[in-house]
Amino acid sequence: MFDDAILEFKQAVSIQPEFDIAWSNLAISFTRKKLYEEAKKAYFKAIEIDSKWSDHHVNLGWLYLNIDQVNEASKEGKVALKLNPDNEWAYDLFGNIHISQGKLKEAINSYKKAISLCPKDDAYLPSYYFTLGLLYVEIGDKSEARKQFRSALKIRPNYWEAEKQLKKL
């Protein structure tokens, strides 16, 4: 699947080398195939073309987090938020950075912020509530965890993972 995407995006950037979003999508495809060095180069190219688009920095941050370069991930997240303080995906990134560091309260705050910025019809919103619910389970706040899982289910009624977690509580 991603092999085809890589071929398509390579063709797109060969035709239009200044198409930053194609470079970013190429990087995402490389990342899915665990071709991290190629992904990094493609993200760098996207950022070289448009360094002001915060999503490029968020995506590069995710790549760094995937390869356990947490400090680099954090730097990219900070750049993203400087460029766009309302970038919900940057807060999602920081939530995961904090989780990787065992900083659960900070992760909770990051997910609350992501939820507050997320459009109510956004496909990511239920997963933000779900992750927030898991974090509350982890710190022992079952009441708040239930609330978050219910919020996820209200938006996506067939969210079986949230249903499963709710039944455990």
Question: What does each of the 169 residues of the chain score in pLDDT, given as a tens digit?
Answer: 678 889 999 999 999 999 999 999 999 999 999 999 999 999 999 999 999 999 999 999 999 999 999 999 999 999 999 999 999 999 999 999 999 999 999 999 999 999 999 998 889 999 999 999 999 999 999 999 999 999 999 999 999 999 999 999 9
Q: Burial, 26: exposed, middle or buried (Cβ in 10 Å; 0-12, 13-18, 19+)?
A: buried
Where do the structural domains in the chain lie, given as residue ranges?
118-169
* DSSP-derived secondary structure letter, 121: T
Contact criterion met (CB below 8 Å) for 145 and 137 = yes
Q: What is the reported pLDDT for 67?
A: 97
The pLDDT, as a whole number, for residue 70 is 98
* 109 touches 80 (CB < 8 A): no
Predicted confidence at residue 5, as pLDDT, reads 85
Q: Which of 134, 116, 59 is nearest to 93 (CA)?
A: 59
Structure tokens at 154: 């209200």
